[in-house]
Every structure is written in structure tokens, then in C-alpha cells.
Amino acid sequence: MVQSQGTRQRYDVAVIGAGVIGCATARRYAIAGARVLLLEKAADILDGASKGNSAILHTGFDAPPGSVEAACVAEGYREYLDIREKLGLPLLRTGALVIAWTDEQEAALPELIDQARANGVDDVQMLSRQETLSREPGLAPTLRASFRVPGESIIDPWSAPLAYLGQALAHGAELRRNSEVLGGRFDGEEWELRLAGESVRARLVINAAGLFADEVDLALIGTRDFTTRPRKGQFVVYDKPAAALASHILLPVPTKITKGVVVCPTAFGNLLVGPTAEDQTDRRTARLVPEALAALRRRGEEILPALKEHTVTAIYAGLRPATEFKDYCIRSHEGLNYVTIGGIRSTGLTSALGTASYVFGLTEAAGFGFDAPDEIAWPNVANISEAGERDWQRPGNGGVVCQCELVTRREIEAALEGPLGARSLAGLKRRTRVTMGRCQGFHCSARLAKMTRDVFDTPMAERLDHD
Amino acid sequence: MTRLPAEVDVAIIGGGPAGLSAAAELKRLGVASVLVLERDSEAGGVPRLCGHSPFGFREFHRPMFGPAFARALVARAREAGADIRPATTVTSLGPGPRLTVTSDEGVAEIAARAVLVATGAREASRAERLIGGSKPGGVMVTGALQGLVYGAGARPFRRPLILGTELVSFSAILTCRHASIRPVAMVEPSERIVARAPSGLLPQVLGIPLYLATDIAEIRGGERVEAVVLATATGDVTIETDGVVVTGRFRPESTLARLGGLEIDTHTGGPSVDTCGRSSEPGFYAAGNILRPVETAGRCWEEGRAVARAIARDLAAPAADRGATVTLAEGPLRYVMPQRLSSDGPPALNELQLRADRPARGRLSLRAEGREILGHKVSVRPERRIRIPLPAGNYPVQVVFEEEP
């Protein structure tokens, strides 16, 4: 269906927001046979809450039993394991240790183990101080005890949503970037969504706008059930030699407010320390604060003393779309053909597939059905993690461009092509990891500027000969 | 291009001044096969992107611009018979010595009788320095700026702020001028300009406001840098700017060596070596700026040549025992290099090199078993050379700096 700009276009489902939840939701409806439009206001996907997380695939052992979050996390975890090989997605089965450092924390462990079992995670295992240290010799010997959650794993937080969206596109979904929803109207049968310079029609609208979900609700249905209360998380990433210091995800005993500061390996062979948990009103900017980053370094060194001798590769901050409620805020507005997915806090990466299925179930119950395709396509996403073979290991790769992360010319060219191609340096980083290593662009900026000159919406640099 | 050899006498990782001078010297000394592995698309190292003078006095006895100097180093090594392979990245080191490398052809393994690690140094990034604020485009180290201006013919910003006053910071200013970029300010956290005159006069000459005892409190901007908040002695100052050049605070590019099991000195950030450039692992040597931050291209060139002579000697007759240790007492000194002495053959590194963390005055001495071997009064400043002659024998020594109040 080719239509010129400014005309109306019809879809079964319009999903607002191409974060990890929006990508998974677009996938869920597309593989069920729906004609899906995914709308993203930013220049690229994953530009909001999804761009800063700890990349952990949670078992949900510490989720509040009986909550929507617990159900979505458990289902998201299960489905990720089920489909990841078919999409070429990595999994590092590191397991997690929940570590008690004080008497009080040690006393809290049995209750956490009970909670894990109530959540269906029954392979947890209590470890004494000695047993913990023999599994993780790098830990500070001041720890008291721990328990091990074997199923907690590390994944690639960029490739997973990219793979979900890739599968959606293979099933006819469309992605529009730089497409903010400015308003809309429901005529009793169909929604008309107003974008800059055009409008689109869809039977069903799903609001997956993350940090802005409450504002989108106000704009489209005139009411909201919750208010976003952004909670900032800052992170410090250590260079690759530090990854040898820990083989597990190292978790503190959680509090009511936060899961606390985690030390964990990454899918890219680094070591991560974070996040902080800082409430703020600004929904757009996650400001890095040197004192907080230095405190994270110190916390990391208290947990793994040898970390003192390692260097920081990257720093970043993300915003969790928390609300005044502890649980997710997912609501189907029946009679309005409209679903809101709000309040997806720390667990969104894990729960995305489960959340998408949960929402699909709600709309199915409300009478939305589609003609399922005869066959489901499973397009593979390129592996950029340490868990599988990388392009630099294969011939014809065009040579390495980003030396720290060993990103090849062929990988970069592929990431710039097609309907999902990167249109900004941030987007290219997330698809390939260029400039995300220890030198932060010292070596590859010049070559990247040349390769992306006519591709990015905002070029990395202007040409000198334009004067 | 022919395939990479599977076996060589000496493999050199890094085709900068140290690696190229070592290659030429090894060939001159009759070593049969010398392979230089350079990850960039051209060999030559950092000078390749320094479009300004002066280079080359020591090596070619005349002043040269960086790129011409780099080309001359490559030509000299190639004429001597070294096999130079650009666009080839070493991905791991292993005992043997063995190397795993990648290029357009995929992965290959190379066995060598000796490996010289000459991977140089790089500036500390914004992340490493934990600089706060948002993460807009247009924040980069001098090396990236030079790559963009001289390598890609591009201008990443028009009115940047420059953080740091080391020698390289003034190189950043010259690079800016080449591209008609006008820096709006130069900012130095300490109370004095770090580099020596005459470089230190450059901001004044060019009319660039200089802020001493000032650090960046916050970088602001969305897609691009919009402003920088400076924390000065008298309070915060906001400066409108469209970029930030984070300069200096070099550190050895030693991750490959560290992952390969070479012992790393946490003070220098590079591999620990003896006075012949031998690392902790048999067959692995190091020379140039991977040893310590940071020396001029000329000194790296000289170091590469000297370590090459030690390698050639070891290939003919393997080295004896490990040398005695050189340690550093607590104080204002940041590092001492080399970290071990050697009992066999003339030293390649013929003095102890030191640097200070902060300005200080006092007595600098070398001690063995608590007794002073030599010592004198000195005044030290950060990023300035401090040298001590090597002790005559092979026994453990300690460098002590007794600070005057």
C-alpha cells in the first residue's frame, strides 16, 4: 500500500513508543497477523527508558507475589528462553548471588528465599560465607552469607528489542521514527492519530510511551490513572579485564524502594556497577553526577576490592518510569479500543515479551482477533555479544573500525541499512557498540564520521571544505 | 597483500614511533623476520594525526610535521626489510609467545620467538574522568579531534571548551586553528598551567580565556553540547559552547597486555618491565608509551630502538634470572619505571623515570636496604620528567621522596 504523505493510512494496531515494551508489543500483534504501526517520537528506537538498564534477565524471584509485574516477568523470562535461539539472541547463564553484608541483611535472607519459592523460583540455594567465597573469590571477605539464584542471567539489552522489532517488520509491521503523536480522536470504531503533517487510523491504540505514558493518556483519552515519577539510575562500566573479577550477578538484599546497587558482568565482556535510585521530575534528561559515580566506584570496591586497580570505560544514566504505584499500571480502556502500559520500572527488559502477551490477552478478551499467518518468520539479529561468534572472526569483514569493541566495517554498514537502520550515533552505538569501549571514540570517530556522513539526521561533523 | 606469516622471529604490536624504530633496528641487527601489526589503516602512530611541528630532530635531524615524520618512520622500517601490516588488530596474546589477530581475512594465529608490545597510550576519556552532566555529541579527546580534522577533513564543532593544559592541550588548540575552530575557554583544574612555556603562553597570545583552579561541573545539551558549567574558586560559571575537548591525562593502552597475563604496574598503568624491556611473561617485551604516560615521539623512538637491541641479544642467548625490584615509597611521586633491574647485558632503559602527582619540594633518594645510594634536593611538578641514574648492581632498591613541609 503506497500512499503519499498527508493522506490517511489504516492499521489494525498503532503502538506508541518504540522502547523495549513497544517493540515487543509490535512483535506480539504482528506475528498474530495484525497490521501494526509503531510510532516513535525520537530519531531512533530505544531512546527513552530503555536506553539505560542493567541488562539482567530476571527470574522474578524477588517480585511481589501475585502482582502483574511478577506474572509479566515470569512469562517474559520463559518466552525469552523459548525464542532467543531462533532470533540469534545471547544468554549468559551467570546466576545471581544475593549477598548479606550485615546481621540484619542476613536475617532477611530466609524470607527472600520463601518469596522466591512463592514466585515459582524454587532452585535457590542458601550459601554460607565460605561457600560464597569459594564460588566468588573476589568478594570482600566481610560478607555474611548469600543465596544463589541459578536462573538469573545476562542478555544484550540492545539486540533483544531490535530482534523483536525485526520480527515484527518481517510480519508487515511499519516503524515511523521522528513521529510524535500530537493528538487523536476515537469515533467509536477507529482511532485517528494526529502526527506532524499527517494522520493515521488504527482500530486499536496501545500506549507504550514509557516516561510519557501518562501524558499520552491525557492527550488521547483525557484522563490518567497514574503519574510518572522518573527515578534516575546512574551506572559505571569497567574495562574488560575487570570482568574476570565476578562470574555471578552480585545483588544486595533489596529494600522496598530499590533492588540496590548491582555488580554484574555484561554481555559485552565488561563489568557493570549500578544503578543509583534518585527520584526527579525531569523526564528527559538523566544527568550524570560525579559524586554519585564516585560513590558507585567506592561501593563496587567494597564488594570487589580488586576493582580499585581497574579503569572505567563508560558512564551512563537512565530513567525508570516509576509511578506512585508499586506494580505495573496496565489498563485496557474498553469501549475506547485503547490500552495503557505504564509504570514499567526496572524489570521492563525481562518482562517485555510477557507484558506484550498480557496486553494481547486483554485485547483478545475484549474481542480483538486477527488472521494468524501460516508461518512465523524468525529473522536473525547480528550477534554483538561475547556469547557467540563475532563478525571480526569471519573473513570479508572489511577490517576492524572500532578497536576497543572489535566492530567491523561490515557490521557498521549493515547497521546503517534497511528500515531499521541507525540514523544517529546513539542508534549506531546501540546496534554495534562502536565508540562504547575504553577509548570512547579516540580511534574510530574519524572513520565513523566519513561512513555516516550522508546517513545521520545530524552529522557527527561538518565538512571542512564547505567553507 | 600476501597472507600473514604463521611464524616470525619478532612480532611487534603497534606501528608507532617505538614499534617502527624497533623494527628497523631488529632488521639492521640481522633478525630474519620482523612483522609489525598496526590496527589503523596506516602505520605511523599518533604523529600521523599531528599536523604540526616539531617532530624529527632526534631521528632525522631536521624539524618535520607529524605526518611527514610518520611517513619517514614507516619508510625507514620498510626499507630495512620489516613486514608492516596495517588494518590488522591483535585480539589476544598467549604463551609461546603466540598472537591471535584479525583483519579483513578473518582470524589468524602467529607464533613468534619474541613479541614487542608497543601499543602506546591514549588520553583519559570523559567517562574515565567521571565528568558529570548529560551526554550530548561533541565531547571528545584530542586524538579524536585530530582524527576528525586531519583524517576526515571534518569540523565537529565551532566554539569548543578545552579541558586541560598539558602539552597535548595546546596541540588541541593548534588543531582547532587549522579547522577555523575558535575555542571559547581553556580550563585547568590545578592552579598552574601544566605544560612548560612557550606552549603555556598560547591561550594568552590567541586571546582564549584561561580558567585555572577550575573544573567542569556539568556538561549540558541534548543532541549537541549547548553549555558547560564550570566550578571555579568563586562559584559556578556557565559558558555557552558547542563542544568539549577533554585533553591529556594519558594512560597506557595496556588492556591487551593485561588480558594476555602480563603483570601490570598500577602506578604507570603499563606492563612492569626490567631495564631491558622484558615483561613478566617470557618472550614478551614492551617499549614506548605503553610503559608510562607519557613521553614524546622522539623518546619513544629511542626506547624502541634500545629494547630492539635487547631482544636481538636475547634471541641469540636467552636472558638469565629476573632482575631485582625497583619500588616506590608513599609520597608525591606517581610512578617509577622500569620496575625491575637486570643483571645481563647493557640496559635498554638506562635511567629510572619518575613522575609526580602534584607539585612538591624535598629530597629525592634511591635506597638499598634502607641505606641511601644517592640523593639530592629537588622540586617536582606534575607531567615533568624526573630521572635517576640506574644503580650499579642488581639488588632491590626503593625510590624515596622526603617532602619538605
* Residues A139 and A250 reside in one and the same domain: yes
Question: Among B373, B363, B375, B378, which Cα is nearest to B396's?
Answer: B373
Please check whether residue A393 touches B, CB under 8 A.
yes
- Judgement on whether residues A258 and A111 belong to the same structural domain of the protein: yes
Specify whether B135 is located in the same domain as B238. yes
Is the same domain home to B200 and B290?
Answer: no
Instruction: Select from B270, B304, B319 the last residue of a domain.
Output: B319
Within this chain, do residues A399 and A297 fall inside the same structural domain, yes or no? Answer: no
Question: What is d(CA A146, CA A133) in angstroms, rounded to the nearest whole number?
Answer: 10
C-alpha cell at A10: 489504516
Task: Give A-chain residues touching B258 at CB under 8 angstroms.
Answer: 241
Bridge partner residues of B132 (DSSP): none
Of residues B370 and B15, more confidently modeled: B15
The string over A22-40, giving b where at least 16 C-beta atoms fall within 10 Å of a residue's C-beta and e elsewhere, is bbbbbbbbbbbbbbbbbbb
Report if residue A75 sits inside a domain: no
CATH number reported for the structural domain that contains residue B312 in this entry: 3.50.50.60
**Same domain (yes/no): B331, B304:** no
Best probe of the A interface among B42, B91, B123, B128, by most A CBs < 10 A, is B128
Determine the 3-state secondary structure of A343 from DSSP.
coil
CB B192 within 8 A of CB B105: no
Residue A172 predicted with pLDDT over 70 = yes
Query: Looking at the predicted structure, is the pLDDT value of residue A254 above 90?
Result: no
For residues B299-304, average pLDDT: 97
Are B155 and B243 in contact, with CB atoms under 8 Å apart?
Answer: no
- Is residue B234 located within the same domain as residue B309? no
Say if A81 falls within a structural domain: no
Amino acid at A226: F
**What's the structural domain count of chain B?**
3
Q: A241 and A144 in one domain?
A: yes
Question: Do residues B107 and B255 share a domain?
Answer: yes
**Cβ contact A312–B130 (<8 Å):** yes
β A462-463/B154-155 pair status: antiparallel
CB proximity B105 to A under 8 Å: yes
The answer on B225 and B260 residing in a single domain is no
Residue ranges making up the domain that contains A220: 9-52+158-228+325-365
pLDDT tens-digit profile of B179-189?
999 999 999 99
C-alpha cell recorded at residue B58: 632526534
CB contact under 8 Å between B156 and A441, yes or no, is no
Smallest Cβ–Cβ distance between B133 and the set A287, A395, A442 belongs to: A287
pLDDT above 70 for A467: no
- Answer yes or no: do A241 and A309 share one domain: yes
> Which residues of chain B are within 8 Å of residue A395 when distances are taken between CB atoms?
104-106
Portion of chain A with pLDDT greater than 90, in percent:
91
Contact B148 A461 (CB under 8 A): yes
Do the Cβ atoms of A461 and B152 come within 8 Å? yes
Whether A313 has its CB under 8 Å from any CB of chain B: the answer is yes
Q: Are A446 and A402 in contact (CB under 8 A)?
A: no
Is residue A386 in some structural domain?
A: no
Interface probe, candidates B42, B125, B225, chain A, greatest A C-beta count within 10 A: B125
Residue A3 has pLDDT above 50, yes or no: no
Domain count, chain A: 3
Q: Which residues of A, range 223-242, sit inside 8 Å of B by Cβ? A: 237, 239-241
Q: Same domain for B385 and B399?
A: yes
In this complex, which of B41, B144, B155 lies closest to A462 when CB atoms are compared? B155
Full residue range of the structural domain in which residue B359 is found? 322-405
For residues B355-383, average pLDDT? 94
Task: Give residue A278's Cα distance to chain centre.
Answer: 19
Torsion sign, CA atoms B97, B102, B103, B104: positive
How close does chain A come to B244, measured CA to CA in Å?
14
Q: Do A44 and A184 share a domain, yes or no?
A: yes
Question: Does residue A146 lie within any of the structural domains?
Answer: yes
What the block records as the C-alpha cell of B176 is: 582547532
Contact assignment for B132 to A400 by CB distance below 8 Å = no
> Residue A92 pairs with which residues in a beta bridge?
A154
Residue B58: predicted pLDDT: 82
Whether A213 and A310 map to the same domain: the answer is no
Q: Which of B266, B294, B319 is the endpoint of a domain?
A: B319
Average pLDDT, chain B: 94
Q: How far apart are CA B74 and CA B41, in angstroms?
A: 13
User: pLDDT band at residue A5, thresholds of 50, 70 and 90?
Assistant: very low
Residues 266-325 (B) with a CB less than 8 A from some CB of A = 266, 269
Give the pLDDT band of residue B196 (cuts 50, 70, 90): confident
| Buried residues in A334-351 as b, exposed as e (16+ CB within 10 A) | eeebbbbbbbbbbbbbbb
| Whether residue B183 is found in the same domain as residue B229 | yes
Q: Are A169 and A282 members of one domain?
A: no
Per-residue pLDDT at A466 exceeds 80: no
The grid coordinates listed for B393 are 648492581
ipTM over 0.85: yes
Q: Is residue B118 over pLDDT 70?
A: yes
The answer to whether position A342 is within a domain reads: yes
Question: What local confidence, expressed as pLDDT, does residue A257 receive?
Answer: 67
Of A240, A311, A463, the CB nearest to B153: A463
Among chain A residues, CA nearest to B128: A312
Of A287, A400, A441, the CB nearest to B132: A287
pLDDT(A2) > 80: no
pLDDT tens, A78-121? Answer: 999 999 999 999 999 999 999 999 999 999 999 999 999 999 99
Let me know whether A202 and A186 are in one domain: yes
Closest-CA distance, A277 to chain B, in angstroms, reads 17
Check pLDDT > 90 for residue A158: yes
pLDDT higher than threshold 80 for residue B200 = no
pLDDT digits (tens, 9 = 90+) for B225-275: 999 999 999 999 999 999 999 999 999 999 999 999 999 999 999 999 999
Chain A, nearest residue to B124 by Cα = A439
CB atoms A446 and B180 under 8 Å:
no
Partner B contacted by A440 (CB < 8 A): yes
B185-187/B160-163 β-pairing: parallel
A330 shares a domain with A314: no
- If asked whether residues B150 and B206 sit together in one domain, one would say yes
First-to-last CA distance in chain B? 63
Residue ending a domain, choose from B319, B341, B372: B319
Q: Is the pLDDT of residue B356 over 70?
A: yes
Residues B335 and B345 grouped into a single domain: yes
Residue that is written with C-alpha cell 591483535 in the block: B90
Around Cβ B380, how many Cβ atoms within 10 Å?
A: 23
Same domain, B163 and B275: no
* CATH code of the domain in which A214 resides: 3.50.50.60
| B307 and B257 assigned to the same domain | yes
Interface A–B counts its CB contacts (< 8 A) at: 158
CB–CB of A314 and B131 under 8 A? Answer: no
Q: How far apart are CA B365 and CA B360, in angstroms?
A: 14
Q: Is-cis flag, bond preceding B198, omega within 30?
A: yes
A338 and A288, same structural domain?
no
| A residues 135-164 lying closer than 8 A (beta carbon) to B | none
Are A224 and A352 contained in the same domain? yes
**Structural contact between residues B291 and B352, judged by C-beta atoms closer than 8 angstroms:** no
- Residue A120 cell numbers, joined: 515459582
Asked if the structure places residue A19 within a domain, the reply is yes
Of B39, B107, B131, the CB nearest to A403: B39
CA distance B377 to chain A (A): 32
**What is the predicted pLDDT for the residue at B206?**
85
- Average pLDDT on B352-373 reads 95
Residue A4 has pLDDT above 60, yes or no: no
Interface check for A295 against chain B (CB to CB < 8 A): the answer is no
The reported pLDDT for the residue numbered B54 is 78
